[in-house]
């Protein structure tokens, strides 16, 4: 796995893009983020990455409202850090049959189609698809226009649905 966060993540989000900075493009494993790193990426790369981190933080806070005073505080102090339970993965999706805790999200229908997983999922709507056996959800891209607050709530509901299920 290549990306940001921790190996013991219970929420794994797969994205086709990598922050356009040499340090991240050269990653060959999973790396926990440090305090202030999300802000630094957003400052150096622009609004695109800020939106991705904001939506991820909003989603986690929707699932775990007691994790921080606000989703912004969670984003700045917890998201994708060593003590957390999230991962943002730049490698192709992997599914371990012994791993029944993690829920995986593929960000974007186009990326899901490229991985070949879109056709192995049941489409609930134009926006969301699931594969219950793999605890996999295909979601709109983490951007305010594609994944509005209402859709974040829908995605959180799908994740909660998987929370009690085992493979």
Residue ranges of domains in the chain: 3-163
Which of these ranges, 26-35, 41-50, 97-106, has the smallest mean pLDDT? 97-106
Q: What is the pLDDT of residue 100?
A: 61
pLDDT at 98 over 60: no
* DSSP-derived secondary structure for 29-98: SEE-B-TTHHHHHHHHH-HHHHHHHHHHHHHHHHH-GGGSSSHHHHHHHTTTBTTSSEEEE-SPP---TT
Phi-psi region of 16 (alpha: psi -120 to 50; beta: other; left: phi over 0): alpha
Q: What is the mean pLDDT of residues 117-123?
A: 94
pLDDT at 128 over 90: yes
Q: What is the mean pLDDT of residues 72-101?
A: 87
pLDDT confidence bin for 99, thresholds 50/70/90: low
C-alpha 48/C-alpha 65 separation (Å) is 25
C-alpha 87/C-alpha 29 separation (Å) is 12
Q: Which residues contact 17 (CB under 8 A, 6 or more apart)?
A: 90
**pLDDT, tens digit, for every residue of 53-82?**
999 999 999 999 999 999 999 999 999 999
C-alpha 122/C-alpha 129 separation (Å) is 5
pLDDT at 96 over 90: no
pLDDT at 166 over 60: no
Counting every residue written for the chain, the total comes to 167
pLDDT at 129 over 80: yes
C-alpha 93/C-alpha 82 separation (Å) is 21
Two structure tokens written together for 131? 């594969």
């Amino acid at each position: 796995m290549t990306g940001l966060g921790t190996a013991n993540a219970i929420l794994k989000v797969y994205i086709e893009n990598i922050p356009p900075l040499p340090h991240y493009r050269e990653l060959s494993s999973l790396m926990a983020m440090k305090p202030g790193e999300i802000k630094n990426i957003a400052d150096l790369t622009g609004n695109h990455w800020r939106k991705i981190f904001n939506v991820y933080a909003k989603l986690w806070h929707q699932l775990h409202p007691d994790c921080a005073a606000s989703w912004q505080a969670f984003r700045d102090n917890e998201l994708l850090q060593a003590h957390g339970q999230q991962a943002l993965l730049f490698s192709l999706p992997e599914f371990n049959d012994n791993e029944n805790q993690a829920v995986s999200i593929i960000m974007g229908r186009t990326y899901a189609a490229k991985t070949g997983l879109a056709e192995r999922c049941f489409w609930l709507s134009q926006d969301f698809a699931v594969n219950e056996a793999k605890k996999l959800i295909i979601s709109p891209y983490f951007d305010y226009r594609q994944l509005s607050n209402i859709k974040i709530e829908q995605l959180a509901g799908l994740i909660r649905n998987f929370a009690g299920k085992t493979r």
